[in-house]
């Protein structure tokens, strides 16, 4: 583990200790009930995925301020650093997990002139959202991404700090896959009218 990663791990551990906790069962059941209600309301798994992503986005745009206020972290120099911060600090602080970060081999992408890496994959060994969930066959076939809210949160949070990203689940153990993987792809760095004050 590099010094940067170690340092982020320490920050994450520290903030986690100071965070108010909520009962895990209540949290997991609340999320489960939410997903099931969406399925009932929309009767379409693609639409449910979309709604979960939207909800996540709305959470992310708010959560980022809390994250910045409590960690006091400044701007990341590279997208790789952003990945480390998300895994070691953000996920640790809010869900007490630290998904593994990996970088897929760069694809030929002529439209992007951003310095690599522009993509990373978060692999979740544990997932508090899906602690008790077992997808019925119908949901598996319908293409439900049960934890799709997570992608939305990352998208919303990063957009507020001028990083436009796309997120998509590549696999989910709930669907019978080997692992749960979330891909985050940097689309562009938004041009705010002024540079940031990184005090």
Binding site for other proteins (CB under 8 A): 61-66, 68-70, 72, 74-75, 160-161, 192-199
Residue 20 or 178: which CB sits closer to other proteins?
20
User: Quick count: other Cβ atoms within 10 Å of Cβ 176?
Assistant: 9
Considering the complex, what minimum distance in angstroms separates the CB of residue 196 from other proteins?
A: 6
| Cβ-contact 57, 156 below 8 angstroms | yes
Considering the complex, what minimum distance in angstroms separates the CB of residue 118 from other proteins?
A: 19
Considering the complex, what minimum distance in angstroms separates the CB of residue 81 from other proteins?
A: 14
**Helix and strand counts by DSSP (H, E) for the chain:** 7, 4
Residue 74 or 106: which CB sits closer to other proteins?
74
Distance CA 61, CA 100 (A): 23
Residue 65 or 177: which CB sits closer to other proteins?
65
User: Quick count: other Cβ atoms within 10 Å of Cβ 57?
Assistant: 19
Residue 178 or 192: which CB sits closer to other proteins?
192
Distance CA 130, CA 97 (A): 13
Distance CA 71, CA 15 (A): 7
Considering the complex, what minimum distance in angstroms separates the CB of residue 197 from other proteins?
A: 3
Provide the 8-state DSSP code for 175: G
Residue 25 or 65: which CB sits closer to other proteins?
65
Please report, for residues 13, 48, 63, 124, the alpha-carbon distance to residue 96 in angstroms, rounded to integers and kept in the order given. Answer: 9, 26, 15, 12
Considering the complex, what minimum distance in angstroms separates the CB of residue 172 from other proteins?
A: 28
């Amino acid at each position: 583990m590099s010094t940067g990663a170690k340092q982020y791990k320490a920050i994450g551990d520290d903030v986690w200790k100071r965070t108010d906790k909520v009962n895990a069962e209540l949290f997991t059941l609340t999320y489960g009930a939410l997903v099931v209600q969406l399925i009932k309301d929309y009767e379409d798994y693609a639409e449910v995925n979309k709604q979960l992503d939207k909800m996540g986005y709305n959470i992310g745009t708010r959560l980022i301020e809390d994250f910045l206020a409590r960690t006091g972290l400044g701007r990341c120099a590279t997208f790789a650093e952003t990945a480390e911060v998300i895994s070691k600090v953000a996920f640790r602080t809010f869900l007490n997990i630290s998904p593994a970060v990996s970088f897929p081999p760069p694809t030929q992408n002529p439209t992007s002139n951003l310095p690599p890496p522009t993509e990373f994959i978060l692999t979740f060994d544990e997932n508090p959202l899906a602690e008790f969930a077992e997808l019925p066959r119908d949901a598996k076939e319908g293409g439900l991404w049960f934890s799709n809210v997570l992608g939305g949160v990352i998208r919303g949070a990063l957009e507020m700090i001028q990083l436009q990203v796309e997120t998509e689940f590549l696999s989910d153990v709930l669907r019978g896959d080997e692992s749960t993987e979330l891909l985050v792809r940097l689309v562009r760095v938004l041009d705010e009218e002024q540079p940031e004050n990184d005090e």
